[in-house]
Chain A
Amino acid sequence: MSMWASLNRSVFKKTSTFFLAAALGTFFFERSFELASVAIFESLNKGKLWNDIKHKYEH
């Protein structure tokens, strides 16, 4: 049995597990998407952001 089919049977067929999968999937997707976007933003603006210069002013 292919992975997809077994996943389908064990998780997606039942409402309770389906919604659990949706909630967990949302959580992990949001976390990784957010971290990836911030990483892109920070690398594009390296040296200009407060996080890049704050070490000069913190003691």
Chain B
Amino acid sequence: MAAAVGRICGARLLKNYGIVTPQVCQLSTGAQGWTRNRKIWLSTLGVVSGGVGALLFALEQSVQASGSEAHPPHQPWSHDGWFKSLDHASVRRGYEVYKQVCKACHSLQYIAFRNLVNVTHTEEEAKAEAADVMIKDGPDEEGNFFERPGKLSDYLPSPYPNENAARAANNGAYPPDLSLIVSGRKGGEDYIFALLTGYMEAPAGVVLREGQNYNPYFPGGAISMAQVLFDEAAEYSDGTVATASQLAKDVSTFLRWCSEPELDERRLMTIKSMGMFTLMAVVAYYFKRHKWSTMKSRKLAYKPVSKK
């Protein structure tokens, strides 16, 4: 890369132009014409990088079209959009769904109880949530491990001690950790929603093994997780009617928060940076006018030197 840049620019980057030339360069719109070599180099570079980009795009598209799984339809998430925050009431309900349903099989090991404070729960409530579970701790003075009620600083406990135990309990399939699942799956929360609500009878010709279910959104179609969300499969503390799609929507929103806890912060940052860049654009515009004012209002007078 460095060699190519050196080739194109030559020693020009290092040359000493004196004081006047660079200033004149900045003010003038007409540049010195490019040499033939430079033109060839630059157009080759342009064509090659354009071609590589187009090839990558085409490869990506063809992979997308070649799979047998259904593509999840896009849902109108209330956090979709440049300035839209998460719906925290929905995140809270989603936590309730995780706790009552998904927790039986899936860990959420990168979320701690303290993360819930002022996001979905008050500090008191989060402490109570933590105190509800037993956490393995130790070793104590005698070298024994023991169980104690959780604290705010504890991470959510996993349902299985390790992957092998999880596989043994689920027909050999591993229920993945859900902390980063929304970032880790194509389609994000659209995929999670479609997966949870998309179970159906296997079409003729599809053979399912023991413990497998058919879900068109899962790559391959045969998934070892049974349908878990039905109407009233979980209970909401805020009185929302717990239909299957409501449960799926809330748990998907919750998992988006787990993957991107900084989402609200980023949305606020978007607003701030747009404000800041607008101000800076105004300054840059003024500065340009300011610098060009002498150029635009100058007059050149030629005084011929008489021969006599």
Out of B85, B121, B271, which one reaches A49, CB within 8 Å?
A: B85
Are A57 and B122 interface neighbours, CB within 8 A?
yes
CB of A46 to closest CB in B, whole Å: 10
Are A41 and B268 interface neighbours, CB within 8 A?
yes
On chain A, the residues within 8 Å of B86 by CB distance are 48
Are B275 and A48 interface neighbours, CB within 8 A?
no
Chain B 204-242: CB-based contact to A (< 8 A → 1; otherwise 0): 000000000000000000000000000000000010000
Out of B88, B268, B271, B272, which one reaches A50, CB within 8 Å?
A: B88
Q: Give the complex CA separation of A52 and B275 in angstroms.
A: 25
Interface size class of A (residues with CB under 8 A): 10 to 19
Say if the beta carbon of A5 comes within 8 Å of chain B. Answer: no
Are B119 and A41 interface neighbours, CB within 8 A?
no
Say if the beta carbon of A21 comes within 8 Å of chain B. Answer: no
Say if the beta carbon of B89 comes within 8 Å of chain A. Answer: yes
On chain B, the residues within 8 Å of A44 by CB distance are 83-84
Are A50 and B78 interface neighbours, CB within 8 A?
no
Are A57 and B88 interface neighbours, CB within 8 A?
no
Say if the beta carbon of B264 comes within 8 Å of chain A. Answer: yes
Are A57 and B125 interface neighbours, CB within 8 A?
yes
Say if the beta carbon of B114 comes within 8 Å of chain A. Answer: no
Are B271 and A37 interface neighbours, CB within 8 A?
yes
CB of A50 to closest CB in B, whole Å: 5
Q: Give the complex CA separation of A58 and B264 in angstroms.
A: 22
Say if the beta carbon of A13 comes within 8 Å of chain B. Answer: no
Out of B87, B119, B120, which one reaches A48, CB within 8 Å?
A: B87
Using CB atoms, name the residue of chain A closest to B120.
A50
Are B271 and A48 interface neighbours, CB within 8 A?
no
A50-B120, A58-B122 as given contacts; A45 in contact with B84, CB under 8 Å = yes
Are A41 and B267 interface neighbours, CB within 8 A?
yes
A56-B238, A57-B125 as given contacts; A40 in contact with B271, CB under 8 Å = yes
CB within 8 Å of A: which residues of B? 78, 83-89, 92, 118-122, 125, 238, 264, 267-268, 271-272, 275-276
6 A-B pairs with the lowest CB-CB distances in the bound complex, closest first: A45-B85, A48-B87, A37-B272, A50-B88, A41-B268, A44-B83
